[in-house]
């Protein structure tokens, strides 16, 4: 047995300490997002903890302890002489709602839903199975994710995403049949319907909560060309055909993704197009070593994406299934022509444009 490299032991111990620091700091970043502290401080000059608490309508003692964690975590600046705290303007886009899609603090609130299912995940490690969508914390995670994707769709779907699909915008303007599978809360579906009134848009999902919310939004928008159906997409029979089918970050969650892709191919007109949007990654973990969000994404996969599939006796594909596996499965499902694109401003996804012929 080789001798221990004491330098490496010490270095990894330091890494573990850093991990503990960052993981706990992340919880407090989530609190800063949820309480609006980052938003308040982005509008303030350097201030005392009391001034910040008053401006935010919060308890000063909690705010002061939170601020101190932000300072030692190098999120905030602090002047030891004046005892004034400030948010560097360069940090604001990643921490405030004004940052829009750049606001990474938004995602930190998902951590509490991951931690809440830890005991169930430990049990699944030992006994198999998983945490189903019906679990309240899994449902809350989906609600948080929906808030982000809704903002993304508002900013990107019509002006940036749909135009990368050849001729689809002009075809939508003329009128075509569209199916949005795994539509969740249906915002993408409703946006397409709102912007292309000559097209008939359908959304499928097996979540009663999601479909109910989607229908409410359709009613609020006054759309007559959008319809939602409670439908397990594994059970589509291919009798109803569509010109254009979309799947936004949902295929990797399916219990039987290969079957779902086959059902989608069967439901697509022979000259139709399938747009599958899914996580930008390689299928081999070795190819993801330099991926800036790989650790986060593999962790979310373990605690949500993979486990909701395994909870249904599924394949547990996981969100990091990667481009190579995705292209392979698309071709096995009957898509003989697959083009993979990226959209400027979207750091997370590949865009698979698939046709049967």
> With contact defined as beta carbons under 8 Å apart, do 38 and 105 qualify?
yes
Task: Give the pLDDT band (50/70/90) at residue 2.
Answer: confident
Q: Is the pLDDT of residue 18 over 80?
A: yes
Q: Is residue 106 part of a domain?
A: no
Output the pLDDT for position 87: 99
Q: Which has the closest alpha carbon to 350: 260, 201, 330, 336?
A: 330
Q: Are residues 337 and 274 in the same domain?
A: yes
Residue 289 backbone dihedrals phi, psi, to 5 degrees: -60, -30
User: Which of 139-148, 187-196, 266-275 shows the lowest per-residue confidence on average (mean pLDDT)?
Assistant: 139-148
pLDDT over 90 percentage in the chain: 98
278 and 333 in a single domain? The answer is yes
Average pLDDT over residues 179-193: 98
pLDDT tops 80 at residue 1: no
**Same domain, residue pair 160 and 60:** no
Residue 132 covered by a domain? yes
- Across all residues in the chain, what is the average pLDDT? 97
Residue 76 has pLDDT above 90, yes or no: yes
Confidence of residue 108 (pLDDT cuts 50, 70, 90): very high
Q: Is a pLDDT exceeding 90 seen at residue 54?
A: yes
The pLDDT of 100-107, averaged and rounded, is 95
Nearest to 67 by CA among 83, 44, 81: 83
Write down the H helix ranges in 36-95: 37-42, 49-56, 60-72, 92-95
Taking 90 as the threshold, does the pLDDT of residue 351 lie above it?
yes
pLDDT of residue 65: 99
Number of domains in the chain: 2
- CATH number for the domain harbouring residue 17: 1.10.10.10
On the 0-12 / 13-18 / 19+ scale of CB atoms within 10 A, 24 is: exposed
102 within a domain of the structure (yes/no) = no
Mean pLDDT of 69-78: 99
Answer yes or no: do 33 and 158 share one domain: no
- Let me know if residue 104 belongs to a domain: no
Tell whether 108 is covered by a domain.
no
24 in any annotated domain: yes
Q: Is residue 76 part of a domain?
A: yes
Q: Nearest-CA neighbor of 28 among 118, 98, 109, 87?
A: 109
Q: Specify whether 194 is located in the same domain as 313.
A: yes
Q: Does position 9 have pLDDT exceeding 80, yes or no?
A: yes
Backbone dihedral region of 74: left (phi > 0), alpha (psi from -120 to 50 degrees) or beta?
left
pLDDT at 172 over 80: yes
Q: Residue 224 pLDDT more than 80?
A: yes
- Give the range of the structural domain holding residue 222, as residue numbers without chain letter: 114-355
- Phi, psi for residue 348 in degrees, rounded to 5: -100, -20
pLDDT in the model for residue 58: 99
Residue at a domain's end among 95, 129, 159: 95
Q: What element of type H or E holds 340?
A: strand 337-341
pLDDT the model gives residue 147: 93
- Per residue in 321-333, pLDDT (tens digit) is 999 999 999 999 9
Residue 46 pLDDT greater than 90, yes or no: yes
279-305 residue pLDDT tens = 999 999 999 999 999 999 999 999 999
* 64-83: average pLDDT: 98
| Residue 193 shares a structural domain with residue 251 | yes
pLDDT band, residue 163 (cuts 50/70/90)? very high
Cα–Cα distance, 23 to 94 (Å, whole number): 17
The string of DSSP codes covering 105-168 is HHHHTTHHHHHHTHHHHHHHHHH-----TTSHHHHHHHHHHHHHHHHHHHHHIIIIIGGGSTTH
Whether 52 and 86 map to the same domain: the answer is yes
């Amino acid at each position: 047995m080789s001798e221990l490299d004491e330098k490496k032991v010490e270095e990894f111990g330091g890494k573990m300490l850093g991990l503990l620091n960052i993981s706990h700091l992340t919880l407090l970043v989530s609190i800063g997002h949820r309480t609006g502290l980052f938003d308040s401080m982005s509008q303030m000059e350097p201030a005392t903890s009391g001034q910040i608490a008053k401006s935010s309508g919060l308890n000063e003692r909690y705010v002061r302890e939170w601020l101190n964690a932000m300072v030692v975590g190098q999120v905030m600046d602090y002047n030891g002489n004046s005892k004034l705290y400030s948010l560097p303007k360069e940090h604001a886009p990643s921490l405030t709602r004004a940052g829009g899609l750049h606001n990474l603090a938004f995602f930190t609130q998902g951590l509490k839903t991951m931690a809440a299912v830890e005991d169930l995940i430990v049990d699944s490690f030992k006994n198999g199975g998983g945490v189903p969508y019906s679990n309240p914390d899994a449902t809350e995670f989906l609600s948080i994710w929906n808030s982000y994707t809704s903002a993304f769709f508002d900013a990107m779907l019509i002006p940036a995403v749909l135009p990368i699909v050849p001729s689809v915008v002009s075809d939508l303007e003329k009128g075509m049949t569209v199916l949005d599978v795994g539509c969740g809360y249906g915002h993408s579906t409703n946006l397409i319907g709102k912007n292309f009134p000559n097209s008939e848009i359908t959304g499928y999902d097996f979540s009663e909560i999601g479909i109910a919310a989607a229908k409410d939004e359709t009613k609020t928008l006054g759309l007559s060309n959008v319809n939602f159906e409670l439908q397990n997409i594994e059970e589509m029979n291919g009798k109803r055909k569509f010109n254009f089918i979309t799947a936004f970050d949902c295929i990797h969650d399916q219990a039987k993704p290969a079957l779902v892709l086959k059902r989608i191919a069967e439901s697509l007109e022979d000259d139709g197009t399938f747009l599958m949007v899914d996580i930008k990654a390689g299928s081999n973990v070795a190819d993801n070593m330099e991926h800036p969000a790989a650790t986060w994404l593999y962790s979310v996969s373990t605690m949500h994406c993979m486990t909701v599939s395994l909870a249904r006796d599924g394949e547990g594909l996981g969100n990091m299934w990667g481009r190579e596996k995705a292209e392979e499965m698309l071709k096995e499902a009957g898509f003989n022509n697959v083009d993979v694109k990226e959209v400027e401003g979207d750091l997370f996804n590949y865009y698979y444009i698939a046709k049967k012929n």
